[in-house]
Amino acid sequence: MNATKKLTLTEPELVSALQSKDPKVLKVLYSMYSASLYGVISRIITHTELAEDVLQETFVKIWQSASNYDNNKGRLFTWMMNIARNLSIDKLRSKDFKNSQKNQDIENNVSFVDEQNKVTFNPDILGVKQLVEGLKPDLQAVLNLVYYKGFTHVEAAEELNLPLGTVKTRIRLAIIELRKYFN
C-alpha cells in the first residue's frame, strides 16, 4: 500500500466522523478502503460492472447504517468487509447476476474475459498469493470457497463433502497461517 497517495485517518477518528455523518469522512473512507473492499468483492463477483455496482452499494450501506456499527463488537474494517461480502453474495444469487451471465454475446467474450481478469498489480500481492498457494491444498480449497466464493461454511461442507467440524477446523488453520504471515 502506498500510504502517501491516500487520505488516511485513524480508526477511532473515522468512526466518530462517520457516525456524525460528516460528508468529508466518506471521501477519506473511500480513499482508504475502496481498493481493499473492491478486492474482496471482485474475487466473489468477477463481472466488472456488477462488482462496481456492489462496491457502490457497499459504501451506500456503510454511510446509511454507520450508526449500527458498534466498535465493541469488532473492528471497523471487519464490519465494512462483511457488508461488502454479504452484498456480493446477495448479488451472486440474485436474478440480476444470473441474467447477466446468460446475456453475454459471443463477440464480447474475449474482452469480457479480459476484463474479468483485470487485477491491479501490486508487489505486495505476489507475496500473499504465494502464501495462499503455499497453503496445504485442503486448507486452500476451504479458504477459496469461504473467502473468495462467498460460501457459508455449511455450503462449503456440502461442496467439499466434508463434515462441518472439519470445515471449521480447516478455516481456522488457514487463518492461523495468514496470522503467522501478517502478525
Partner 1 sequence: MENIKAYIESGVLELYVLGDLSPEESAQVEQMASQHPEVKQEIVAIEKAMEQYAVQNPVEPSAEVETKLFEKLGLKVDDVDTQATDVKSTAQEPKIVKLDPNHGKLRSLKFALVACVALLVMSTVALFSVYNQLNDAHDQIASLNTDKQKFAGVVSHLEFENKGLENVAAMADSKEWATIRMQGQAYSPKSSMKLYWNKTDKSVLINYVAMDLPKADAQHEYQLWALVNGKPVSLGMFGKQDSTSNEAILKMQTIDRAQAFAVTLEPMGGSTNPTMDKLTVMGGV
Binding segment (CB under 8 A) for partner 1, from list 96-104, 106-114, 133-141, 166-174: 166-174
Q: Does 93 bind partner 1 (CB under 8 A)?
A: no
Q: Does 66 bind partner 1 (CB under 8 A)?
A: no
Q: Quick one: DSSP state of residue 149?
A: S
* CB proximity list for 77: less than 8 A, separation 6 or greater: 11, 33, 36
Task: Select the residue interacting with partner 1 from 44, 45, 50, 55 (CB under 8 A).
Answer: 55
Q: Does 19 bind partner 1 (CB under 8 A)?
A: no
Q: Could you tell me what percentage of the chain is helix, strand and coil, using 3-state DSSP and rounding each to the nearest 5? A: 75, 0, 25
Closest CA to 151 of 171, 133, 166: 171
Q: Does 110 bind partner 1 (CB under 8 A)?
A: no
Closest CA to 14 of 56, 69, 58: 69
| 8 A C-beta contact, residue 62 and residue 21 | no
Q: Does 71 bind partner 1 (CB under 8 A)?
A: no
Task: Considering the complex, state which of residue 72 and residue 106 has its C-beta at the smaller distance from partner 1.
Answer: 72
Place of cell 440474485: 94
Residues numbered 111 to 150 that lie near partner 1 (CB under 8 A) are 119-120, 122, 124-125, 127-128, 146-147
Task: Specify the 3-state DSSP secondary structure of 144.
Answer: helix
Which spans of this chain sit near partner 1 (rule: CB under 8 A)?
Answer: 1, 3-10, 13, 16-17, 22-28, 30-31, 34-40, 42-43, 48, 51-52, 55-56, 59-60, 63, 72-75, 77-78, 81-82, 85-86, 119-120, 122, 124-125, 127-128, 146-147, 152-153, 165, 168-169, 171-172, 175, 178-179, 182-183
